[in-house]
Amino acid sequence: MSFFVVAAALLVLPLVALRGRTLVRCYVAIGGLWLFAALLHLRIPDFDPYLGNVSVAVLTFAVFALFLARGEHVRWSANRAAAIAAIVYACTIPAMLRTPIDGDEPFYLLVTESLAHDGDLDLANQYRTLATSQTGRRDLAPQPGDPRGPHGEQYSRQEPFLSLLLLPGYALAGLYGALATIALFGVLLVRSTIRWMEDEGVPDDAARAVFPLFAFAPPVLFYATRIWPEVPAAFFFVEAMRGVRNQRLKRWLPSLFGLVMLKLRFVLVAIGVVATTLRRTRARLLALGIVVIPLVVMWLISGRATNVHAWSEILPTTPMKYVVGLAGLLADGMSGIAFQAPFYLFGLFALTRWRHTPRGFRLGILASLLYILYLLPRPEWFGGWAPPLRYVVFVMPVLALGIASQWERLSRGALAVVALWTVALAIHGLAYPWRLFHIANGENALGEWLSSLARADVSRMFPSFIRMNHAAWLGAGAVVLLAFALRRTRNDLAVPLFALALAAGFAYAQQPGPRVEFEDIHVEHHGGTLYPELYAVMRVTYRGGWTLNAGDSLTFLARGGPSTLHYITGPGATIELAGRAYHLPPAPAYTTARVVIPRAGRVTLRCLDGAVNLDRMDHDDDRR
């Protein structure tokens, strides 16, 4: 979309909600921002114009959001919030289409196309004629484990309800229509959430302040403009919660139906809603009846009520997996809320003030618990190949409600830092939508970028629970502490402390780390290949590494002294590391070798003979 259209849309936004002097001041501020941007553009003509334009657009919206939150003359209602959301999401959709849709998105669209053109769910002909598909993907193929029919029908593992919802939009405008349908659910979600806040007695000024950080920040922003069931699910969940809170059967019953039809996993949410909110037997029976419907639908399509899942998945597993999953959702650098949606850290703070939060918030959290409990131990708790926090998007309106209810008690310094970080995340996601997807290798986009700038392992400063690192438990502990520490105080030093953490973290990261993961970006690869390949299914279950053949080499920062090299090699290999040669005998399973680095600094590991898959190198000080 032309940036002129986006600029015009941004100029319309203040008219929706601002009046009088607040409106004039907002326009003056926006004018100043644009002039300043033009001056910077004049002086840095080589700066990526797309990134520059996206940055200016996001900052312009941030200026508007500030006036919306703090202005004196503001017209505010759920409908106005929805109108603002509609404008912003309409501008965001084209940005998301800089690259073809990814993850589960093309499969949902493929099912929609099958419904629209063939009136069935069999995708066999769709896979054969991908050139005519609006997915823009020629590389699609059935995923391992996708259901097959008795006569060779090829079904998708994705539940068909979302595709059904996309059908009218798709019929009208193809891919754009499908995306507009999701955005429409986003708009409805925003409206419902603001109405929910009103229902629960949240003051208008708190709702106005929370609104942009909820609706136009990760994860909602990115899921409202891409084809995933998460935002429609969030809408149905909020409507269900509003329905049961207001005891309106006509609201919660269809909402619960929509929720469970979107994804089988939401049946757990529905059970939570039934268990925590419905008191009457008739209502519970109705709700449980609804819960059964998706199982029947999936049985009819795939011959199995649980689709690609197994009943054994609901059996409890080892406690540590729950702990890792929970800590990961909180603190993981790639997929945790602390780094990918930091605004919801304040939701944790709201949890610490449980008794002072609205009843709707408490019920929403309780209703989600069963689902979250089953999510935590799964190997893909982080969402797999999807934008961050996929599996918990539907809880975000609940957390937003809790945050709004505690707005006056939140640390202003922390809010400022979080707002800044959120603006950066929005700019990054809109300018580089493909980076919303990240392979599960223990790094994240920011860590990789800083690592390549500094030629050092900056990624290790970000907690990872996907590939456990040293920062993981420290990070999780810090998040838990933050949950209690985010309260408003007289001497709020959150901003300078954040600055200090940033600088100290980077300074420390420039020293060699105790562990070198050979597939990481800070390791300079001269030949060799990534293991497993980039898009391997369930990549997270492999020990990642870098495969070297004779002549290939790696350069990286390492600590001096003895270390342990973790590797696997079929034919055996001879390597040279920091000037010393080592023979690695053939090993059918991962094994270790002792190596010595003469002194700390940049070293080269060269494969002289044979081939070896190098997993990592641990400095001896770090052995546990």
Partner 1 sequence: MKEDSLSPAGWIAAAALSAWACHLAVRFTTPIDSALPFVAVLVTLLAWVADPALMLATPLLIAAELALPDEGVRLLAVGAIVAVAFACAVVRSPLRADVLAVIALLLLRWIPRPAQIGRELALLVLALVIVYVLGRTPFAMAVGVAAAFFTPAFPLRTLALPLAVLVVAMAARVFGMPELRLTIPSFAAVAFALTFFAWSGLVARALPYFLRPPSREPVRFIVNRALAANQALQLAVPDGARALVLSGANVPHFRRGAVVGHIDPGHLTVRIGDVADWGYLRRETYYASHNPLPRDAAGKLRGYGYDAWLDGAGRVALPRGAPVVTVTADASLPAGASLQVEGFELAPR
Closest distance of CB 441 from partner 1, Å: 22
434 binds partner 1 (CB under 8 A): no
Minimum separation from the CB atom of position 415 to partner 1 (A): 9
Closest CB to partner 1 among residues 32, 136: 32
**Which residue is associated with the tokens 């809170």?**
245
580 binds partner 1 (CB under 8 A): no
Instruction: Please state, as a whole number, how many other Cβ atoms lie within 10 Å of the Cβ of residue 581.
Output: 11
Q: What are phi and psi of 558, to 5 degrees?
A: -140, 150
Please give the angle made by the CA atoms of 253, 172 and 126, to the nearest 5 degrees. Answer: 90
Q: How far is the CB of 499 from partner 1 (least distance, A)?
A: 4
Interaction of residue 24 with partner 1, rule CB under 8 A:
no
Residues 35-54 that bind partner 1 (CB under 8 A): 36, 39-40, 42-47
How far apart CA 554 and CA 155 sit, in angstroms, is 44
* Shortest Cβ 453–partner 1 spacing (Å): 6
Cα–Cα dist 510/508, whole Å: 5
Segment interacting with partner 1 (CB under 8 A) among 91-99, 159-167, 314-322, 408-416? 408-416
Q: Which is nearer to partner 1, 66 or 530 (CB)?
A: 66
Q: Does 596 bind partner 1 (CB under 8 A)?
A: no
Cα distance between residue 256 and residue 236, in whole Å: 7
Name which position in 136, 316, 496, 586 contacts partner 1 (CB under 8 A).
Answer: 496
> In whole angstroms, what is the distance from residue 220 CA to residue 426 CA?
11
Least separation in angstroms between CB 42 and partner 1: 6
Per CB under 8 A, the segment of 113-121, 260-268, 487-495, 590-598 that binds partner 1 is: 487-495
Tell me which of 490, 534, 535, 624 binds partner 1, using CB under 8 A: 490
We find the least distance from the C-beta atom of residue 492 to partner 1, in angstroms, to be: 7
Cβ at position 503, least distance to partner 1 in Å: 4
- Reference 451, options 520, 508, 547; nearest CA is 520
Pair type for strands 524-526 and 573-577:
unpaired
CB of 411 to partner 1, least distance (A): 9
Question: What does the buried/exposed string (b/e) look like for 251-267 if buried means 16 or more CB atoms within 10 Å of the residue's CB?
Answer: bbbebbbbbbbbbbbbb
> Nearest approach, Cβ of 531 to partner 1 (angstroms)?
30
C-alpha–C-alpha distance, residues 515 and 616, integer Å: 7
| Distance (Å, whole) CA 432 – CA 426 | 10
Which residue of 293, 493, 538, 581 would you call a contact of partner 1, by CB under 8 A? Answer: 493
- Applying CB under 8 A, among 498, 529, 543, 592 the residue interacting with partner 1 is 498
Q: Verify binding: residue 285, partner 1, rule CB under 8 A.
A: no
Q: Which of 34, 506, 542, 582 binds partner 1 (CB under 8 A)?
A: 506
Subset of residues 435 to 454 that bind partner 1, contact rule: CB under 8 A: 449-450, 453-454
Residue selected from 205, 492, 576, 622 as contacting partner 1 according to rule CB under 8 A: 492
> CA 271, CA 148: separation in Å to the nearest integer?
29
Nearer to partner 1, 299 or 508 (CB): 508
Q: Binding-site residue total for partner 1 (CB under 8 A)? A: 36
Beta strands in 553-586 (DSSP E): 553-558, 561-569, 573-577, 580-584
Using CB under 8 A, which of 9, 164, 323, 416 touches partner 1? 416
- Residue 597 backbone phi and psi in degrees, to 5: -100, 120
Question: Which of 42/131 has CB closer to partner 1?
Answer: 42
CA-CA distance, 602 to 455, in Å (whole number)? 10
With 0-12 CB in 10 A as exposed, 13-18 as middle and 19+ as buried, what is 579?
exposed
Residue 408 in the binding site for partner 1 (CB under 8 A)? no
Q: For residue 140, what are the contacts with CB-CB under 8 A and spacing of at least 6?
A: 106, 107, 110, 127, 130, 133
Work out whether 300 is an interface residue with partner 1 (CB under 8 A): no
Burial class (CB in 10 A: 0-12, 13-18, 19+), 25: middle
Q: Between 49 and 551, whose beta carbon lies closer to partner 1?
A: 49
Residue 462: CB minimum distance to partner 1, A: 14
CB of 583 to partner 1, least distance (A): 40
Measure the CA–CA gap between 274 and 282, rounded to whole angstroms: 11
- Does 34 interact with partner 1 (rule: CB under 8 A)? no
Q: Is 171 in the site for partner 1 (CB under 8 A)?
A: no
The tokens for 532 are: 């497993």
Backbone angles phi, psi at 611, to 5 degrees: -150, 145
Q: Is 495 in the site for partner 1 (CB under 8 A)?
A: yes
When the beta carbons of 301 and 423 are compared against partner 1, the nearer one is 423
Task: Please say whether the dihedral angle defined by the alpha carbons of residues 377, 331, 430 and 207, taken in this order, is positive or negative.
Answer: positive
Is residue 413 involved in binding partner 1 (CB under 8 A)? yes
Q: Of 34-42, 266-274, 433-441, 613-621, which part binds partner 1 (CB under 8 A)? A: 34-42
In the structure encoding, which two tokens stand for residue 397, read together? Answer: 């309106």
Q: Which residues bind partner 1 (CB under 8 A)?
A: 28, 32, 36, 39-40, 42-47, 412-413, 416-417, 420, 449-450, 453-454, 488, 490-493, 495-500, 502-504, 506-507
